[in-house]
Chains A and B, each alone.
Chain A
Amino acid sequence: MKETYCLDVKDYSGRRTVFTHQQLELKAPNRPELREDGILERIRETIENPTFIYLDLEHSDRFAYYRREYKINSRIKYMKVILQDRKLDLFVITAYRPDYVKERDKTNLVYGEDNE
């Protein structure tokens, strides 16, 4: 089946990055952030201009792109986008807005600075 995209952009390094409609529909029930107005714009900003990127804890071909958004009650809110390297492009697995960096001190920081 041909992929159709809700996002087709270049990441910070110029690599093509896609988010398919099928993947968005698959993830939206358990990720309410994906049903928010303006979420695709926030995902695009994170892909194009991440604050930092960690290697995924489980998969060596996946990356966690983080973009710092704001601080609330001493906790920092991030937009987080999980990307899979498909060689020809990067594929958005899912995206959500945590107040915690799960990969910190557990895996390699591959881009940017995580100073919080």
Chain B
Amino acid sequence: MEKIMNKEQLIEAVKNIPIVAERDKWAITLDKDEGALFYAPKVIPSDSALHQVTDEYALYIDKNSHPTGVVVEYFNGNFLKHHETFGDIASKFFEQKDKIITIPADKLKQNKNAEIFRALLETTLIKEADANFVPA
């Protein structure tokens, strides 16, 4: 059965993203086919359910209320328009033509642009969770 999450629990889960992402080696994937950005492990665990946090992003949460992945729908068409600070770094970061671009966790640490992008993303997710939380 799906975990019931209130606002406080969801915001707490968002705050745990940096620790969980480091521990579970989350990658960043831009799926141009779907138009979504994923910040998640290679395979998001099967017991995860999607919970919307703000209008811009949702979180997969497992049965223990732990975050198991972030999804930003309409990343290019919506999120980047509302987050100009991501513009330059995103264009450098996702310059390949492939339909699905994945930057694995180890590469995120080796590439300066990737490191900046990840830090900016984590900061933005946490900052906006409380300020722009979507009501039930």
| Chain B nearest Cβ from A60, distance in angstroms | 12
The reply to whether A82 and B34 form a contact with Cβ atoms under 8 Å apart is yes
A residues in contact with B51, CB < 8 Å: 99
Task: Tell me whether A100 is interfacial, beta carbon within 8 Å.
Answer: yes
In the complex, chain B residues 26-41 whose Cβ is within 8 Å of any chain A Cβ? 29, 31, 33-36, 38, 40
Interface size on A, residues (CB 8 A): 26
0 or 1 for each of A1-45: is its CB under 8 Å from B? (1 = yes): 000000000000000000000000011011111011000000000
What residues on B are CB-neighbors of A72 within 8 Å? 2, 4
**Residues on the B chain within 8 Å of A32, using CB:** 44-48, 60
CB distance from B109 to the nearest CB of A (A): 21
Instruction: For residue B64, give the distance in angstroms from its CB to the closest CB of chain A.
Output: 15
User: Chain A's nearest CB lies how many Å from the CB of B88?
Assistant: 21
Say whether, besides A30-B44, A102-B55, A96 and B50 are in contact (CB < 8 Å): yes
* A73 contacts across to B, CB distance below 8 A: 4-6, 136
Instruction: With CB as the reference atom, state the residue of chain B lying closest to A75.
Output: B136
B residues 12-67 in Cβ contact with A at 8 Å? 29, 31, 33-36, 38, 40, 42-52, 55, 58, 60
B77, A98: Cβ atoms under 8 Å?
no
B101 within 8 A of A: no
List of B residues within 8 angstroms of A115 by Cβ: none
Q: Mark A78-95, 1 if CB is under 8 A from B, else 0.
A: 000010000000000110
Whether B78 lies near A57 (C-beta < 8 A) is yes
B48, closest chain A residue (CB) = A32
Identify the B interface with A (CB < 8 A). Answer: 2, 4-6, 29, 31, 33-36, 38, 40, 42-52, 55, 58, 60, 69, 71, 73-74, 76-78, 100, 134, 136
Listed by A's residue number, 5 A-B pairs whose Cβ atoms lie within 8 Å are A32-B45, A75-B136, A82-B34, A99-B51, A102-B73
